[in-house]
Chain A
Amino acid sequence: MDLDRRLRQRKKELVQKWFHAVIETYSADASRFFANQKDPFANPVGRAFREGLSGLFDHLINSEQNDPRQIGACLDPMIRIRAVQNFLPSQAIGFLFDFKKILRKDLGDALEHPDFSDALKRLEERIDAFGLIAFDVFMRCREKIYQLKADDLRERTFKAFERAGLVHDIPQANAEKDHYH
């Protein structure tokens, strides 16, 4: 039996464990809600991780899948949420590497098998690579946040004034807001 087949068979359990590892990073009160509220609209965070991790798992074990854009697209909904929650960057993407531990624990004694250990090494390298992509996605989300901060109301207001050819009138209105930095 090769690692690939074994992982495919164990997908449901592994993704479930991974999901709980992610959910554990929230407070006890919230994690129960994120995990148990199955309504995707009442619990969009839970939905994103449930669906996202399952897709990510498929990408991970598919050694043909090396397109960072597709992998990034799969990571995006999850990272996008963690990028605006109260996490440090390390914590925001750390859940990816949790999968290594989950995997090793799940394989148990089978790890000793030479076939397995080689395949496992390759898989762990893939996890590392995914981690780097996750970092890109995280930065993209953060940059978006900073851009939105910069753009917000002032920019839109400015645009409307600009369209109206009223830009010279703006300092008066804006002077009030200049203490924002």
Chain B
Amino acid sequence: MADDLLKPHELIANIKPRPPQTGWMDTPVKIRKGMYCYASNPKSVAALGFPNAREWNPLDEDWKLPPNWKEIVFEGMRERLDRFRTFKVFMDICVRCGACADKCHFFIGSGDPKNMPVLRAELLRSVYRRDFTTAGKLFGRLAGAREMTLDVLKEWWYYYFQCTECRRCSVFCPYGIDTAEITIMAREIFNLLGLNIDWIATPVANCYRTGNHLGIQPHAYKDMIDFFVDDIEDITGVRLNPHLNKKGADILFITPSGDVFADPGTYTAMGYLMLFHFLQEKYGLEVTWSTYASEGGNFGFFTSHETMKRLNAKMYAEAKRLGVKWILGGECGHMWRVIHQYMDTMNGPADFLEEPVSPITGTKFENAKSTKMVHITEFTADLIRHGKLDLDPSRNDHLVLTYHDSCNPSRGMGLLEEPRYVIKSVCNHFYEMPPNTIREQTFCCGSGAGLNAGENMELRMIGGFPRANAVKYVHETHGVNMLACICAIDRAALPTLMEYWVPEVNVTGVHELVANALNLPGQQERTTDLRGEPLPGMEADDE
């Protein structure tokens, strides 16, 4: 933004930068720095066998598209209209009532009208009308139809990579029109043309080969777990013996690789390890991790349905190979959208697994009896409810918490009370943010759906502003200093967001809090939390 400085006379003309008052169809897209992600690395595109792998730059005039790109777009749309009733119905029934217009975090932050969910969808609908409807063919512009051009494609690309598929608009839509669904279709079409962004394509390529987005190989994964074991021993005096790739374990545990490799998710990973150790010591439950299925997250979901399925297949395959009873899933947002709403359909039936039952409490997880995968906050909430954990919440007394509902578990699942119950059981100071910013109305972190890159920082800060604003409110009114969440993208994105808008607030996963409170059998007196910060009343011991 700073490098397109104006000349003095332009500057004067621009003192009032009132944007053009032209209709949206007549306002061509301007791709701005800080608002888009870099184009995908051709190596990653080729590794997945996607078409049109080449170097390209979104700022260039020429996107090096295949010569028949319009035909590809048309065929891509036709195929998806035939496959997805959602897409077809959502193309037809919008009445443009405007209920969604001011519900998108990107619009609220940027004021860019094309970030209104209705208009974001109209970008595609306008082309749909012209190519697939009688009214559009007959009446053109009057029916809201327009021709597919390179400018339109660029506009699509820019704005469908400014949607985090959070589904907040869908909550307010009288017909349940879900922009996420439309964005998903648009991104599938981009992949047919080789127009992905690197922040998605490279993790997908990595995940395909090494089992996780970061491309971490099995031995490094094990080293990292070993390091956690050392750290936990320093803090608690207890030596853990976690299982990796263990055949015959009771449960397979899968979490996003971000929890294992990126702060502050690493503390959440330590939390899982301590919980599993406690359950093994007390109740003999064996939980294994896997290096092959070492990624719960699924950037394939941001690529195409097919890619999502390709990456997700590892979960059931590994559960089958290891011969576990059922699968437990860690804290992650879109991972859970995929598991809850797609996995069983795509890669099931999981008839080689048992219907999940907690061997400790005897609770049958009826809601997961077909997919056979349980969310860890469902599992832990059940343990706490039955008094099976030995907890000392005072070890979290230095924290004043609020809880950020991640988009996917709240609007694609309805996992609202479980994490709250866990947090309230392990912490004494908890305050909710205002009601229209939590639960099904939660605001996105602004970095979901593969947009948590570095180069689009302005976009992320703008998109996350409504969330940060609500955090700031509870920080100012209740002294909140810690933001809890159950999503690995949140744990990667929110610290950055907080650093810009509310630097006094840190970010944590829920199971880090659980582990802080959890008394391990045979532990020494705990003087620090998992981050090595002295506990309240223990500061003096350091000196």
- Our verdict on whether A and B bind, yes or no, reads yes
Q: Chain A residues in contact with chain B, CB under 8 A?
A: 24-31, 33-34, 37, 39-45, 47, 80-81, 84-91, 94, 141-142, 144-145, 148-154, 156-157, 159-161, 163-166, 169, 172-173, 176-177, 179-180
List B residues 116-135 near A (Cβ within 8 Å). Answer: 116
B111 is contacted by which of A30, A80, A163 (Cβ under 8 Å)? A30
Q: In the bound complex, how far is the Cα of B16 from the Cα of A26, in angstroms?
A: 9
CB contact between A86 and one of B11, B35, B102, B107 (< 8 Å): that residue: B35
Asked if A180 contacts B469 (CB within 8 A), the reply is no
- Which listed segment binds A: B176-184, B219-227, B313-321? B219-227
- B304 CB-CB contact with A under 8 Å: no
Q: Say whether B41 contacts A176, CB under 8 Å.
A: yes
CB distance from B299 to the nearest CB of A (A): 13
Q: Which residue of A lies closest to B266 (CB)?
A: A160
Chain A contact surface mostly: helix
Is B496 within 8 A of A152, CB to CB? yes
Cα-based distance from A27 to B214 in the complex (angstroms) = 40
Give every chain A residue within 8 A of B49 (Cβ-Cβ): none
Q: Which residue of the partner chain, among B2, B17, B453, B469, contacts A47 with CB atoms under 8 Å?
A: B469
Is A42's CB under 8 angstroms from B266's CB?
no
Partner of A177, one of B202, B461, B469: B202
Residues of B that sit less than 8 Å from A by CB: 1-2, 4-6, 11, 14-19, 21, 32, 34-35, 38, 41, 43-44, 101-102, 107-113, 116, 198, 202, 206, 214-217, 220, 223-224, 227, 231, 261-263, 266, 434, 436-437, 452-455, 457-458, 461-462, 465-466, 469-470, 473, 492, 495-496, 499-501
Report which residue of A144, A153, A166 has the largest number of chain B beta carbons within 10 angstroms of its beta carbon: A153
Q: Give me the 10 closest cross-chain CB pairs, A-B, nearest first.
A: A30-B111, A44-B469, A164-B227, A152-B454, A27-B19, A29-B113, A26-B111, A84-B461, A84-B458, A149-B454
Closest A residue to B103 by CB, please name it.
A42
Given A86-B32, A157-B261, output 8 extra A-B contacts at Cβ < 8 Å. Answer: A24-B16, A27-B18, A28-B21, A42-B466, A81-B109, A148-B499, A153-B262, A160-B262
Cα–Cα distance between A86 and B106 once the two chains are bound (Å):
13
Contact B457 A148 (CB under 8 A): yes
Sampled A-B contacts (30; CB under 8 Å): A27-B19, A27-B113, A30-B107, A30-B112, A31-B111, A41-B434, A41-B437, A43-B108, A44-B108, A44-B465, A84-B457, A85-B109, A85-B111, A90-B11, A91-B17, A144-B500, A153-B454, A154-B454, A156-B263, A160-B263, A161-B224, A161-B261, A163-B231, A163-B266, A164-B224, A164-B227, A166-B220, A173-B215, A173-B216, A180-B455
Q: Which residue of A lies closest to B492 (CB)?
A: A153
Contacts of A27 in B (CB 8 A): 18-19, 111-113
| Chain A positions within 8 Å of B436 at CB level | 39, 41-42
In the complex, how many residue pairs between chain A and chain B have their CB atoms under 8 Å apart? Answer: 172
CB atoms of B116 and A29 under 8 A apart: yes
Please tell me if the beta carbons of B461 and A156 are within 8 angstroms of each other in the complex: no
Chain B residue nearest to A146 (CB atoms) is B457
Least CB distance, A33 to chain B, in whole angstroms:
5
Which residue on B lies nearest to A141, using beta carbons?
B500
- B43 to chain A: which residues have CB within 8 Å? 176
Contact: A153 with B452, CB < 8 Å? Answer: yes
Which listed residue (A87, A161, A180) contacts B1, Cβ 8 A? A87
**Are A180's CB and B38's CB within 8 A?**
yes
The docked-state distance in angstroms from the alpha carbon of A25 to that of B1 is 16
Q: Are A150 and B227 in contact (CB under 8 A)?
A: no
CB distance from A150 to the nearest CB of B (A): 7
Chain B residues with CB under 8 A of A152: 452-454, 457, 496
Cβ B262 vs Cβ A157 within 8 A:
yes
Instruction: Tell me the complex Cα distance, A76–B519, Å.
Output: 44
Do A80 and B206 touch across chains, with their CB atoms under 8 A apart? no
B485 → A minimal CB distance (Å): 15
Instruction: Evaluate contact between B16 and A25: CB separation under 8 angstroms.
Output: yes
CB distance from A170 to the nearest CB of B (A): 9
| B215 A172 Cβ-Cβ under 8 A | yes
Whether B470 lies near A41 (C-beta < 8 A) is: yes
A80 contacts B500, C-beta separation under 8 Å: yes
Contact B227 A166 (CB under 8 A): yes
Query: Nearest Cβ distance between residue A41 and chain B, in whole angstroms?
Result: 5
Residues in A whose Cβ lies below 8 Å from that of B263: 156, 159-160
Taken together as a complex, chains A and B put the C-alpha atoms of A39 and B509 apart, in Å, by 29
**Complex Cα–Cα for A173 and B223 (A):** 15
Q: How far is the CA of A151 from the CA of B460 in the complex (A)?
A: 14
Residues of A within 8 A of B15 (CB): 90-91, 94
Chain B nearest CB from A163 CB (Å) reads 7
CB nearest neighbor in A for B19:
A27
Q: Which residues of B contact A88 (CB under 8 A)?
A: 1-2, 4-6, 14, 17
Q: B262 near A156 (CB under 8 angstroms)?
A: yes
Are A42 and B2 in contact (CB-based, < 8 A)? no
CA distance A161 to B263 in the complex (A): 10
Partner of A176, one of B19, B102, B113, B215: B215
